[in-house]
Chain A
Amino acid sequence: MKSKTTTKTTYNIPVGPIHPALKEPVFLEFEIDGERIVDVDVKLGHVHRAIEWASRKRNPIQILYLAERICGICSYCHPAAFALGIEAAADIEVPERAEYLRVIQAEIERITSHVLWAGVAAHEIGFDTVLFLTWEMREKMMDLTEFLCGNRVTKGILTIGGIRRDITKDMLPQITKSLDYFKDNFEKIRHIFLDDKTIKLRSQGVGILTKDDALKLCAVGPTTRASAIKKDVRIDTSYFAYGDLDIDYITPDILTGEVNGDVYDRIIQRLLEIKQSIDIIEQCLDKMPNGDLVSEPKIPKLLNQLKKVEGEGVGRHEAPRGEVIHYVKLTGEDAPFTWKVRAPTYNNILPWIPMLKGEQIADIPIIAASTDPCMSCTNRIGIIKDGNRYELRKEELYRLSVEKTRRLMR
């Protein structure tokens, strides 16, 4: 067999914890002075799939399933935001029970995503046992998702004007069991992440995003809340059943009394949000009224209705990573005239720059991961040293990160 002798790298196919919420693996180019990062340049678009363009030949129901495939982890958020946009444009009223069921699905997704993130973050600093522990916990939530939706990843649960599956009384014990499991094991994760000396050394004072920068760079989700900006679509506005629930903003100072905006704060932020999500699901199960699941069960009739609508609508939903916003314009045709998708990572890219500046190369993985983006971003990094450019690959970067942790543990 002839082996390839070329050392030239063109594209690296991303392998590993890939996060396709945004449409691409991101390419970061760093200017480095010794160990310190002087400047960062971000390049996007390597896997831009023209999803918005593909929608031009699809009707709104078909787009729901296209939207689901934007991201493997937020496969509920995108159809949710799209459905909210269409409902706003066509003025469709959603039955009350469906609104509660929608919240339950959204929060299960948030728990799954945040626990996944906790595992990735641990892996990036070399704690692979924690990765396995957290992902085992995540598996319980995946099982619950399968139990409620019939699917583990692409859930296919949401529809325009409601939701497709009910939660009946006989399903409640299973849900309670899964939530109890999380409550019982929460203390364990909290202890690992917040009390461990090494994790503190790696995350405290690292990758700081100031409140001012978070505001000016339009950061969203846990990234902005960990910098003390109270911004959460679930609490700021009334959509789904969130308006009925007893919820409040979460910022890291609830636990520590101060906000630093560093990686440690972003860990606290997500852990507290897992707890909040469990509470929200319990509130929903408690308060859920009886009633219909969808406003219009006959899909051809619904599509016919939508075909006559002329108008525009915006759907906003708080995805695990932050606000996702979809803009839809209907012009009385089968397909929407315009559909603009904006995933949360889109807004969390620019905040990377102030976070990364002045930090060490070995801190790149955990800082980049702390905003919970698509991890293939760190796949290849260009370094300028002594006037010569060379590229640092993800594996090398990961090795440096693990080595730093080991050094600190000594």
Chain B
Amino acid sequence: MSEKKTLEELTKYFKDEFKTKIISIDIKKRAAGSKKLETSTIWMKIDKTVFKDVIKHLIKYQYPHLAVISGNDLGKNIELIYHFTVNYGERLKEINLHISVELPKSKPEIESICDLIPGALITEREKQEFLGVKIKGIPDNRKLFLPDDWPDDVYPWRRDETGPEKYYKNLHEVNKK
């Protein structure tokens, strides 16, 4: 691994490589405790066409730790956020890197990163069944948390007609007819 980059160097590292394909970079710092030491966070929105290259570029710097992928149903698009951390292993040097990518609902497809980070498998499978995104090239396509007989076109985290609304009853309404 090369020398550890600071926050500014790290954002420059990505900006230089991908230029306009990076939609926005938002840097946040939060202080805590009596000494008010800070933790840095980078929120980076990227274009989905360069997604895999961004991950490859990140691995070239340091093998990152992928905590989880979280997701939002934004109406027309589905947003996936990859929560990485880099620079770990040295006191207070860690940087949170949240890489966000938006996929249109008409074609919610993204490449799998399991070939680069095998530990992404569980969270990719979860996103596939909960948000209805298609992970291209995922090594294991089965359901993870949902039972095998779960209907194919219902995604629990969606907020549109493919959401789970029709499957639940409000407890206070059950006996009212």
Residues of A with Cβ closer than 8 Å to B?
A: 23-24, 44-45, 48, 50, 52-53, 88, 94, 96, 99, 215-220, 229-231, 235-244, 248-249, 287, 289, 312, 314, 316, 323, 325, 327, 329, 337-338, 340, 342, 346-347, 349-350
B146 adjacent to A48 (CB under 8 Å): yes
A323 to B122, CA, bound (A): 16
A44 adjacent to B89 (CB under 8 Å): no
Which of B8-16, B48-56, B91-99, B101-109 is the contact stretch?
A: B91-99
Instruction: Using A96-B33, A99-B34, A238-B32 as known contacts, list a sample of 5 further A-B pairs with CB atoms less than 8 Å apart, ordered by residue number in A.
Output: A45-B146, A216-B63, A243-B92, A325-B67, A337-B72
- Closest chain-A Cβ to B96's Cβ sits at a distance in Å of 7
B65: which A residues are within 8 A, CB to CB?
Answer: 215, 218, 220, 231
Does B68 belong to the interface (CB within 8 Å)? yes
- Closest chain-B Cβ to A55's Cβ sits at a distance in Å of 11
A312 to B67, CA, bound (A): 17
B66 adjacent to A218 (CB under 8 Å): yes
B98: which A residues are within 8 A, CB to CB?
Answer: 314
A218 to B38, CA, bound (A): 25
Whether A53 touches B156, Cβ cut-off 8 Å, given contacts A215-B63, A229-B89, A329-B72, is yes
A94: which B residues are within 8 A, CB to CB?
Answer: 32
A215 to B59, CA, bound (A): 12
A349 adjacent to B122 (CB under 8 Å): yes
B72: which A residues are within 8 A, CB to CB?
Answer: 329, 337-338
B66: which A residues are within 8 A, CB to CB?
Answer: 218
Task: Give how many B residues have a beta carbon under 8 Å from the other chain's beta carbons.
Answer: 48
A44: which B residues are within 8 A, CB to CB?
Answer: 122, 144-145
Whether A342 touches B68, Cβ cut-off 8 Å, given contacts A236-B88, A238-B92, A239-B39, is yes
Whether A242 touches B68, Cβ cut-off 8 Å, given contacts A231-B88, A236-B94, is no
A50 to B156, CA, bound (A): 9
B83 adjacent to A327 (CB under 8 Å): yes
Whether A236 touches B93, Cβ cut-off 8 Å, given contacts A217-B118, A323-B67, is yes
A243 adjacent to B32 (CB under 8 Å): yes
Whether A346 touches B68, Cβ cut-off 8 Å, given contacts A230-B88, A243-B35, is yes
- Closest chain-A Cβ to B114's Cβ sits at a distance in Å of 10
B146: which A residues are within 8 A, CB to CB?
Answer: 45, 48
Does B151 belong to the interface (CB within 8 Å)? no
A53 adjacent to B68 (CB under 8 Å): no
A312 to B157, CA, bound (A): 17
Whether A99 touches B33, Cβ cut-off 8 Å, given contacts A217-B119, A231-B88, A325-B83, is yes
